Chains A and B, each alone.
Chain A
């Protein structure tokens, strides 16, 4: 009996099966594990952004971020990450429906988006360190900027590696429709990285 159609009747009460939480199965353990990891990771980023706010608020000498940071470049980086989220969901759609070609194409685009983002961030850091004279040891503005964006950049790098492994396995024919859950888990991680960047872009660059 399928879960959606199942109806359990005990005595006079009737409970729709789709109203019940499913038990843990190998099929959803990965997703649950990733969500639990992301909740912890979100706490880390949340604490970092809260610390940034605590250091900045009531500090009359905090510089205007736009005086140092390139808003236009970062807006493009934000757009690239949003695009890569779309390619990620299309890649998942491909593997879930057994369309290997679609999976490989969109996963390659997702990896490309991540690499582009990292390349632009490396270029931005190079400019800030060499031309603007910023340094993680100079002051709190610089330290919080490099720590938060660097920590996020590490996450992007991890996502690029994760997605690349899946892409390579797909190209070798080792990632079948039955293993679409792996791509879904990778997608959760990648969208989380996108979500965090949306907040960092606002709090660090725009405000």
Chain B
């Protein structure tokens, strides 16, 4: 490593990110979130935008306030692991979600016609005689 590179690395270690700029980005993104919330967009567009903005803010916090951008890759691997696992968890929930029928808000499901419940019923099917 050259001396210049070592010095720049030394300087980079002590200068750090511009926290005020990160704060301004976060504040602006929060304001945009509230704007998207109030604009009355179609639900799909609204949800997509809000989720994207939330993740952008979360990444800013992790990268700069939690210093992941300046840390060794090992810590980034630890940090990204729960994100990957929760993503898998969401995908694993999909088969259940796509077949579930909600009949009442309070979760006390009243099934009037079990034949309409499909292949993955909420309530167990009646016992079959052997």
Contact = CB atoms under 8 A, between A and B. Distances in A.
Contacts of A79: 27, 30
Contacts of B81: 39
A111 B22 CA distance: 20
Tell me what chain B mostly uses at the interface: helix, strand, loop, or mixed.
Answer: helix
Contacts of A5: 1, 6
Contacts, number: 128
A199 to B, nearest CB: 6
A54 B107 CA distance: 13
Q: Which of A31, A40, A71, A89 has the most CB of B within 10 A?
A: A89
A154 interface: no
Given A86-B19, A206-B33, A194 B65 contact: yes
B65 A140 contact: no
Report, as a range, how many residues of chain A touch the other chain: 35 or more
Given A18-B9, A195-B58, A59 B102 contact: yes
Decide if the interface of chain A is mainly helix, strand, loop or mixed: helix
B72 A21 contact: yes
B1 A93 contact: no
Contacts of A192: 66
A85 B65 contact: yes
Interface stretch (A41-49, A115-123, A128-136, A168-176): A41-49
Contact of A39 (B34, B72, B73, B79): B79
A71 B50 CA distance: 14
A78 B53 CA distance: 14
Interface string A75-91: 10011001101101110
Contact of A191 (B66, B73, B102): B66
B97 A89 contact: no
B127 interface: no
A5 B107 CA distance: 63
Nearest to B53: A202
